[in-house]
Chains A and B, each alone.
Chain A
Amino acid sequence: MKLTKILTGFSAACLVAFMAIQPVQAAEEEGGTPHYPINHPKHVHWSFSGIFGHWDHQQLQRGLQVYKEVCSACHSMNLVAFRNLEELGYTEEEVRAFAKEYTVTDGPNNDGDMYERAAVPSDHFPSPFPNVQAAAASNNGAAPPDFSLLAKARAPERGFPTFIFDIFTAYAENGPDYIYSLLTGYQDPPAGFEMPEGGHYNPYFIGGPTLAMAPPLSDEIVEYEDGTPMTVDQYAKDVASFMMWAAEPTLVQRKSMGFKVILFLLLLAALVYLTKKAIFSSLKAGGPAAASAYAGGAVASAPMGESAATGPASASLVSGTPPSGAANTPTASELRAGVDYIDDIELIDGIGATIAKRLRAEGVNSLSTIASMASSDLASLAEKVNAKGRPEREEWQEQARELISGQPPRAQVDRLKVEKMLNKTF
């Protein structure tokens, strides 16, 4: 009855809500907005990809040459200083000489005038245009973007499900892949395509079907001295590598540190796992074992001694010592702190080192556990540890209760041990 009422009420509410809804007409044209780039970037194998990625210094130097001779005519690279070029394998002297070829504006001097001087390694690459407006004015109204971060600022979406696989393959090269694809991707527009003025068709461009930049590279435009093929394809790869370096000079440092960190963590994980397993193994045995997790300490305090005689339920949380460890020998200071019995199952006459070891492996490592177990449980446990019938015959439980209440052990040898440790005579 109640349910139908609820359902009726809900449907009525839905009906009213539906009537109250007024769709706002979307101002969008049919078919939705088109998505760019039209083509996914082509894949290139880069030396810096993967977990062992490293720079190909020869390639970076060639890329710098392409940047210097072609791209830098329009594109600035504000965040990169000449001194950074030493990371490409140049010597300090070579960097100094390289910087000298550039002129930078400095000042004001003591007369208040700005002046020009040759660049030094601490200077950054000078910009080809005095400001963004000038850059835009010389380039059909669109300022050429700065090169410093371009390899990270252009990363076309990978789409489902590729983006999930990328997590496992550590694919992070969509920036340089994009740059390579764009530089090699200029082509004739499809039939019927209306080319905007000053546009150049390129299906790899992220911002639309055409871009303002004319194809910047052509075969043999840059003279390589090391015999590397002087093709657009090679130029594009070299300059894309160089741009990745410019965008993240610490990339290789990051990857090599990552390998060491993860290797360390994997080893640590293995050790922590084994420790955890050892600690939890005592819980697997079941009830009594779990109970003994609290009474794992070798020495119980006085209030526990009292309560333990009637059962362990109200015992305080004494110690977090792992129960699976060997018998702990109490220190002198622990013994002096008003303790009245030693919680060691070996003090029971009949339980020697071998049986005690097997009992502890079963999680039974305190007198209170033995004292409070059901005698049938103890009997079956004894059978397990090769001591069939002995708990009854040797009165293990009675012995445990006696010990807990502060009475001396039955065996003379144990008695001496206790007397020595507690520094008292029975």
Chain B
Amino acid sequence: MSAGHSAYEPNNGLMKWLDARLPLPRLVYDSFVAYPVPRNLNGWYTFGAILSLMLVVQIVTGIVLAMHYSANVSVAFNSVEGIMRDVNYGWLMRRLHANGASMFFIAVYIHIFRGMYYGSYKAPREVLWILGVLIFLVMMGTAFMGYVLPWGQMSFWGATVITGFFSAIPLIGESIQQWLLGGFAVDNPTLNRFFSLHYLLPFVLVGIVILHVWALHVTGQTNPTGVEVKNIKKDTVPFTPYATMKDALAIVLFLILFSWFVFYLPDYLGHPDNYIEADPLKTPAHIVPEWYFLPFYAILRAITFNISIPFTDIVLIDSKLGGVIAMFGSIAVLFFLPWLDRSPVRSGAYRPLFKQFFWIFAVVAILLGWLGSRPAEGTGVYGMLTAGDFSRNYVGYAQILTAWYFIHFLVILPLLSKIEKPKPLPDSIADAVLAK
């Protein structure tokens, strides 16, 4: 679509001059003014714009915070409190930044689930989807390192647990862990490099986001019908004013939610233990990551068993490595989604079976998040089967839901494309709209 001819016409001498040398206004005009978007996009399609805004909010507040923050274990905690108490509007900057991270993840999860429901990952948008998963991964890394910077108890112990994953790698794990930490345990070198990377990665994100938007503008957006645009005039509307205005409304509504947390519930999404300075000698009763990592944390802790060669005691994968593999696998599987779901019908709205499994999956993901916040108690599925241990068997529930998580991607989606009978698709986007 963007391959079509440009509709931009410079309307004064300066713009003509610039257009002949660096056609930046032309790029912006063609991408965000004249760019055709499907006329039937619903509210779920506004989260891309919301996410772009959140990235900017995080970078701007983050740069201000970095001006007042000290990345040294002896003063990091108090420098953050100095921002809260003595820097003019420092409390606002920090609240915006900390809650902004949570809002960023709320938006990204909705954006991802929207993509899953409407089949946005299917050809020809595989690269677009993969870039999105990559953005999600880099976001997770950035958020994790940012959470370490205030140097509270959860910062320290979260960092200890997460970097501990690498020690699970056979043979070279411990060396890798020490190399990443800059020592034998989380300490000043760790804090320094996390600060450095936390400042760097958002700009990497900006780069990948530009690629993501580029890929989007090459293939064009999907839409709730999943039918490709056939007639630009009938099926689409220009980005400005239509999408611009809809995105603007969504952004303002999202900012209301954001403000509600920043001004009235600023600590709701955080952990109280992070108001206690890091103490390497005192482990908190329950180490939990930030809420947006909880489903993955639950998957990590669900693997409480070793994988051995059947009928022998030779352990192939011990439970720790198994947990790490399952956790990274749960994200890695997203990269392969375009090839796991082979159904030719894009939109879930026309796939009666897929639709049901999609919602089951969404509930499973939320329940996994809840289990991630529970202590790892219980005897697991093994205990359920052998001793009927069902009450508060959090490990057991997590094991069942983790299994379902993978079954959804690896079994259900490939099977559905073979057995499902989709509903008839509309001939075009315009037909679908006019039928309403």
Chain A interface residues (CB < 8 Å from chain B): 2-3, 6, 10, 16, 19-24, 26, 28, 32-33, 51, 79, 84, 145, 148-149, 152-155, 160, 166-167, 170, 172, 175, 207, 247-250, 253-255, 257-259, 261-262, 265-266, 268-269, 272-273, 275-276, 279-280, 283, 286-287, 290-291, 293-294, 301, 312-313, 315-318, 320, 322, 333, 337
In the assembled complex, which residues on chain B have CB atoms less than 8 Å from the CB atom of A317? Answer: 7, 34, 36, 232, 238
B305→A22 contact, CB < 8 A? yes
A258→B434 contact, CB < 8 A? no
0/1 per residue, B69-111, Cβ < 8 Å to A? 0000000001001001100000110010000000000000000
Q: B9, B263, B316: which contacts A261 (Cβ < 8 A)?
A: B263
Most chain B CB within a 10 A radius of its CB, from A33, A268, A337 = A268
Chain B interface residues (CB < 8 Å from chain A): 5, 7, 9, 11, 33-34, 36, 39, 78, 81, 84-85, 91-92, 95, 231-234, 237-242, 245-246, 248-249, 252-253, 255-256, 259-260, 262-268, 272-273, 275-276, 285, 304-311, 313, 315-316, 319, 370, 375, 377-380, 382, 392, 395, 411, 415, 418-419, 430, 433-434
Could you write out 5 A-B pairs with CB less than 8 Å apart? Answer: A21-B308, A155-B267, A155-B272, A175-B272, A247-B275
Given that A23-B304, A155-B272, A249-B85 are known contacts, is A291 also in contact with B234, CB under 8 Å in the complex?
A: yes
In the assembled complex, which residues on chain B have CB atoms less than 8 Å from the CB atom of A337? Answer: 9
What is the predominant secondary structure among interface residues of chain B facing chain A?
helix
Q: A23, A84, A172, A255: which contacts B305 (Cβ < 8 A)?
A: A23
Known: A21-B306, A172-B268, A322-B241. 12 other contacts (CB 8 A): A22-B313, A24-B306, A28-B377, A32-B392, A33-B377, A149-B275, A172-B266, A249-B85, A269-B253, A286-B434, A293-B242, A317-B36
A153→B268 contact, CB < 8 A? no
Please, which residue of chain B has its CB at the minimum distance from the CB of A249?
B85
Measured CA separation A425–B155 after assembly (Å): 78
Nearest first, the 5 closest Cβ-Cβ pairs linking A and B are A258-B263, A153-B275, A155-B272, A19-B310, A170-B264
Measured CA separation A137–B263 after assembly (Å): 41
Measured CA separation A294–B418 after assembly (Å): 41
Given that A266-B256, A269-B256, A287-B434 are known contacts, is A149 also in contact with B307, CB under 8 Å in the complex?
A: no
Measured CA separation A78–B255 after assembly (Å): 35
Measured CA separation A273–B43 after assembly (Å): 13
**Distance from A172 Cβ to chain B, minimum over Cβ atoms (Å):** 6
Please, which residue of chain B has its CB at the minimum distance from the CB of A247?
B275
**Distance from A168 Cβ to chain B, minimum over Cβ atoms (Å):** 9
Measured CA separation A19–B306 after assembly (Å): 11
B272→A153 contact, CB < 8 A? yes
In the assembled complex, which residues on chain A have CB atoms less than 8 Å from the CB atom of B430? Answer: 287, 290
A79→B85 contact, CB < 8 A? yes
Given that A16-B310, A266-B256, A279-B245 are known contacts, is A290 also in contact with B234, CB under 8 Å in the complex?
A: yes
Please, which residue of chain A has its CB at the minimum distance from the CB of B78?
A79
Please, which residue of chain B has its CB at the minimum distance from the CB of A16?
B310
A254→B266 contact, CB < 8 A? yes
Given that A24-B319, A257-B263 are known contacts, is A2 also in contact with B418, CB under 8 Å in the complex?
A: yes
Measured CA separation A22–B92 after assembly (Å): 51
Given that A24-B319, A261-B259 are known contacts, is A153 also in contact with B276, CB under 8 Å in the complex?
A: yes
B242→A22 contact, CB < 8 A? no
Please, which residue of chain B has its CB at the minimum distance from the CB of A149?
B275
Q: B95, B239, B305, B419: which contacts A254 (Cβ < 8 A)?
A: B95
Measured CA separation A20–B276 after assembly (Å): 43
Please, which residue of chain B has its CB at the minimum distance from the CB of A278?
B245
Given that A10-B411, A79-B85, A269-B253 are known contacts, is A22 also in contact with B241, CB under 8 Å in the complex?
A: no
In the assembled complex, which residues on chain A have CB atoms less than 8 Å from the CB atom of B304? Answer: 23-24, 26
Given that A269-B249, A269-B253 are known contacts, is A20 also in contact with B234, CB under 8 Å in the complex?
A: no
In the assembled complex, which residues on chain A have CB atoms less than 8 Å from the CB atom of B253? Answer: 269
Q: A153, A272, A318: which contacts B249 (Cβ < 8 A)?
A: A272
Given that A172-B267, A316-B5 are known contacts, is A20 also in contact with B310, CB under 8 Å in the complex?
A: yes
In the assembled complex, which residues on chain B have CB atoms less than 8 Å from the CB atom of A84? Answer: 85
B375→A33 contact, CB < 8 A? yes
Most chain B CB within a 10 A radius of its CB, from A10, A269, A301 = A269
Measured CA separation A271–B255 after assembly (Å): 15
B307→A283 contact, CB < 8 A? no
Measured CA separation A154–B271 after assembly (Å): 10
Measured CA separation A287–B78 after assembly (Å): 62
A320→B92 contact, CB < 8 A? no
A290→B380 contact, CB < 8 A? no
Please, which residue of chain A has its CB at the minimum distance from the CB of B391?
A32
Most chain A CB within a 10 A radius of its CB, from B239, B245, B248, B315 = B245
